Amino acid sequence: MDPALGPPNAMAEKRDELTPMMRQYHDLCARYNDAIVLFQVGDFYETFCGAAERSARLLEIALTSREDSTGEYPMAGIPIDNAESYIEDLLEAGYRVAVADQVEEPGETAGVVERAVTRVITPGTLTEDELLASDDNNFVAAVARGRGIDTRPADDELALALLDVSTGDFLATSSAAEESIADEVSRFAPAEAVVGPNAPSDVLPDDCMVTPFDERVFDRERAASILSEYFGEPDALLASDAEIRACGALLAYAEYARGGEHEGEKGGDESDESDDAGKAGSSREPGETDRLEYLTHLTRYDPREYLLLDAVALRSLELFEPRAVNGRDDATLVGVLDETACALGGRTLRDWLRRPLLESHRIEARLDAVEELTGSVQTREHCHELLRDVYDLERLIGRISRERANARDLRSLRDTLAVVPEIRDQLANADCDRLRDLHENLDPLVDVRELIDDAVVSDPPIEITEGGIIAEEYDSDLDDLRGTARDGKQWIDDLEARERERTGIDSLKVGYNSVHGYYIEVTNPNLDAVPENYQRRQTLKNSERFVTPELKEREDEIVGAEERADEREYELFCEVRSDIGDEVERVQGLADALATLDALVSLATVAAQYDYCRPEILDPESERTDGGVEIDITGGRHPVVERTQESFVPNSARFDAEQRLAVITGPNMSGKSTYMRQVAQIVLLAQVGSFVPAESARLTPVERIFTRVGASDDIAGGRSTFMVEMDELATILRDADERSLVLLDEVGRGTSTADGLAIAQAITEHLHDAVGATTLFATHHHPLTELADDLPDAFTLHFEVEQTDGEVVFHHEIEPGAATGSYGVEVATAAGVPEDVVDRSRELVDANAAAETTARTEPTADGGTSELESTETAPVPDSVAAELRDLNVGHMTPVEALTELDRLQRLLEEES
Ligand code: ADP
Ligand code: MG
């Protein structure tokens, strides 16, 4: 157990003897025993004992100690005012943080100030803007196992629930296939997850924090009951038992993380001896905390509704992360597409990219809107300008609903509402349905805006308890109190003149300081003239300060009125905030409309600026496409590469039922990988509803994109690269179908040439004959081009390079047919490899070519004498031969067979 977590031993031993404050700390640590408890003491959050030592080292803050009658405890504290940056460091170090705030004013009670955990901050449940990327979601996930829809007997379905606690986005899906859930996890990249009983955690990526949480919340009944509190009957909303469990558990976790351990529930269980001790939430009944009102929607989706992109495809198509380790941040698809003006749109655009569409009518609806906005520069630019003033309404309303918003947040909401009518006007004459819908849905929430305008001053302070927030004439009680204070101050303001006249002392002054309050100051030479009713308060070097009973009375009146006014303001503020909180769904509806508009405007901006075209989307059911995929791109460009270099050579691509599989050859650096990715990215962009970088494009939506890049530069998890490659290939061969787009980039590199070729050939045949996927296969195995000539639906493409005086010129132009040579040697020259090495390479190439010809023309049975052949026919060692003989080929999967081959081959190498 981490000594930074749980109740410190030094305290646990003598809990009952501890001072009340330290007992509070101890108990909160016991209750939130998977988190570092930040314990408010005045202006600081303190940690003690093990947590203090850990925090001091981690955060580079001073380690001090606190001594009381029961002992001395190490202590380290962080100032509350900039706690966020420290909390961020704790999270980064892998800790969860429970923030225990003072929930009553120190003067209010005789005993120790009450403290409660007001939030538990974990990587997946962040709500503070400072800790979150504004233009991306931050998800926490729950994975649960349960019965499927069709009452399968066993718990054989796996569900995934995803929640962004900061925005309220809440999604659920399920599948009987684990890989499918793993793919969905890759899409959303949750920062944290809770995992139900018997659910596999290996569907989660390594960088996802797995939080141990009370497994009872995954119980079907409990989950259903908490869900029904939010969304009514869960069976009507969700498709399976597993989904109910995952969603219910996730809600319970979100409520737990929200904290909110309020009065009447002091401290932790005295002795938590239950089985679940040591797990967060174990001492808490699910659903016992306040509801998170802003969770108003739960969207269930089927993974099959969207273009499926697994983790490998997401990476190699550079959707969100640049492929090169030190790649430029904007060298990603999202980087080139994101011209959004506000955080709302940024997140929506990312969601669209994560989940490209399949159904042509949905795609067309977006395309119509993008086309219209592309055509109208004015509308587009105006919208963009106006959207820049739009605050993050989703997080704002979340904060309002969680009672964490301050008056400035309300003003931000108001300022956003103020631009909505103008944005709406921009769409008044919209043609397409999508934009007309948006026009409809851009509700400026006039009532909310008026409420804020009436209630909150235009430039309120951050603090919500110190007044200065509520506008004049909003509340008559408040106005009265303010009137009293104002009158009192006026009386004091006039006092100076009155007293000067009364006493004849011209230098008499009325002043104020925070210790003594108001006073009348008289300089020493005038002390004789001081009247009877002056009472001496303070003696300074050159003067004396006095008060009068009247002045004191006025002062008390002012202070009393001001205090009560502050209280009244706070009360009013909370009322206003809660009234606005009641409008959460309308604010979310508006946020959604603004987000959609921003994302559409962004796509249109990119389309116009970079000369994209509207893709024609073919209906897969139509006769023309014959149920398969047709892709016809003229003058296509790679959306990312074209931005990172000066010039880019456009290339076309044509695939249909008769031309389904392309074998692409060409020297290194000629453009093969770029070409293949550009085809896939254009397809993907089209399905997002974006215009595409091409002169024209026509395509059938694909259901899955698979990409596999040769293992040479992709070493994962210590497994042999060959194994990784085979594993990934196995997935493709198993899951791809005629609605898939498959990119194979130099697969079969992880093993010897002969094997590589054999595997590449077998894969090609399989994809062609059995799978029928649209396939682009870049390869250095030239014999594959001959194979392609033999297969009816396969064809060849190649990149040529030009050599002039040993210089190599890349044209990056795709052409039909096979490449003539690999030009590896020439590329080496161009790259500056020393001349003698290049010369020797040339010799070897020639020799090998000669040997290859010999080998082909003279059958091996003749017992050829060339050096090459004699090594090839070296006898197989007995041990390997024996193993080969014993292989039970009938019981092996292709991958097992390949793996076994690989092993035997290594054995051979060792033995010879
Ligand atoms: P290969 O896969 O054949 O080795 P790449 O696709 O990796 O080649 O391309 C190598 C480099 O050539 C790219 O990084 C890019 O800079 C450039 N390139 C590729 N295709 C084009 C193109 N169509 N127009 C301009 N430059 C290109
Ligand atoms: Mg390549």
pLDDT in tens, 132-161: 888 999 999 999 998 765 555 666 899 999
Give the closest ligand to the alpha carbon of residue 674: 1
With a Cβ cut-off of 6 Å, ligand 1 is lined by 641, 645, 648-649, 651, 666, 668-674, 812
Residue 264: what pLDDT? 28
- Residue 596's region, left for phi above 0, alpha for psi from -120 to 50, else beta, is alpha
Residue 127: what pLDDT? 87
- Asked if residue 681 lies in contact with residue 717, where contact means CB atoms within 8 angstroms, the answer is no
Q: How far apart are CA 455 and CA 666, in angstroms?
A: 70
Tell me which of 316, 669, 695 to substitute to probe ligand 1's pocket, judged by most ligand atoms within 8 Å of the beta carbon.
669
Give the closest ligand to the alpha carbon of residue 665: 1
CATH code for 132-264+291-305? 3.30.420.110
Give the residue whose CA is nearest to atom 9 of ligand 1. 671
69-106 pLDDT, tens digit per residue, is: 999 999 999 999 989 999 999 998 989 999 999 988 87
Residue 732, token pair as written in the block: 């493709």
Give the closest ligand to the alpha carbon of residue 637: 1
- Please give the CATH topology (third level) of the domain spanning 9-121: MutS, DNA mismatch repair protein, domain I (3.40.1170)
Residue 271: what pLDDT? 36
What is the CA(904)–ligand 2 centre distance, in A?
29
Residues in the chain where the model's pLDDT stays below 50:
261-289, 711-718, 853-873
What is the CA(641)–ligand 2 centre distance, in A?
13
* Residues in binding site: 666-673
Tell me which of 637, 798, 812 to substitute to probe ligand 1's pocket, judged by most ligand atoms within 8 Å of the beta carbon.
812
Nearest Cα to Cα of residue 660 among 730, 761, 733, 739: 739
* Residues in binding site for ATP: 666-673
- Tokens 């209750």, located at residue: 31
3-class secondary-structure state, position 268: coil
- Angle, helices 549-581 vs 393-401, to 10°: value is 120
Residue 861: what pLDDT? 41
First-residue to last-residue Cα distance in the chain: 52
- Asked if residue 410 lies in contact with residue 568, where contact means CB atoms within 8 angstroms, the answer is no
Q: How far apart are CA 14 and CA 17, in angstroms?
A: 5
What is the CA(670)–ligand 2 centre distance, in A?
8
Return the sign of the alpha-carbon dihedral for residues 486, 489, 493, 499: positive
Which atom, in ligand 1's list, is nearest to the CA of 645? 16
Residue 1: what pLDDT? 73
Residue 895 to residues 59, 729, 763, 900: CA-CA distances in angstroms?
Answer: 49, 9, 12, 8
Residue 744, token pair as written in the block: 């194979």
CATH code for 616-833? 3.40.50.300
555-603 pLDDT, tens digit per residue, is: 999 999 999 999 999 999 999 999 999 999 999 999 999 999 999 999 9
Residue 361: what pLDDT? 95
What is the CA(672)–ligand 2 centre distance, in A?
5
Each domain of the chain, given as residue ranges in start order, spans 9-121, 132-264+291-305, 616-833, 883-911
What is the CA(621)–ligand 2 centre distance, in A?
34
